[in-house]
Amino acid sequence: MLRGYYTAANGIINEQRIMNVITNNLANAKTAGYKSDEAIPTTFAEKLLLLQHGKRSETGTIRYRTIEYTFTDLEQGTFENTNSRLDMAIVGNVYYNIEDRRTGEVLLSRNGQFTINGEGFLTLGSSGYVLDENGERIPLGTADFQVDRFGTITVGDGRQYRLGLSYIAPGTDIEKVNDNLMRPYGDAPIGNLPDGEFYQIKQGWFERSNVDVAEETIKAMDAQQVFNACSSALKVANSINQLAVDLCKLQ
């Protein structure tokens, strides 16, 4: 029964991890530019061995499921019109270059709900500074500006800056730094916008999260049911183990 005990416990741990991912998705359903995560199950094999005449004989394999990784869905979310000059949405597989306020690292984001800080720089709230194509902070100092489809910002006084943008191919695996910032795995360069790559900046709009609330709710219900089933199985296995211990004491 120890094997059944471990299997049930393994199921509880896995479903809890799945629930954590789903809960985070639902909590960020209204976060601009947020990309939903999915828990990825993997397996490891445990061989069953039987001793026969002093020799080890393989009798089978049990595969335990583990949840160690998540995959981020980079599918574009829907757009919402705000008519705010500081809101910008991107059509296409392109991301804003953001200087992380804490570390100075250049990260990527689809959240285009920008602000102007006390120093006059264009920022992504408290996350960091919006960078131009040269990797420099953008000192707007005013909300009197226009942005064309290619990301060129023209300020009312004639100054121009071009947004720093990076390309990430669909289906690429990325690492989230927080719910708004991310980095590509490997050595993918920042600012690697390919020639001819289609994209469009839409000023006065922002991108909603791509979380499907109905689908995530169904996933949560399924995970909860499996969690409850594993909990019940664990209780049964524990009772049987205790019964076996008591019987051994009587002999």
Can you give the pLDDT at residue 77? 94
Can you give the pLDDT at residue 11? 79
Can you give the pLDDT at residue 46? 58
- pLDDT under 50: residue ranges of the chain: none
Distances (CA, A) of 113 to 34, 80, 119, 123, 206: 12, 11, 18, 9, 6
Distances (CA, A) of 197 to 74, 130, 177, 203, 240: 17, 21, 26, 19, 63
Can you give the pLDDT at residue 2? 62
Can you give the pLDDT at residue 45? 64
Q: What is the pTM of this model?
A: 0.81
**Cα–Cα dist 171/197, whole Å:** 16
| pLDDT, tens digit (0-9, with 9 covering 90-100), for 217-229 | 999 999 889 888 8
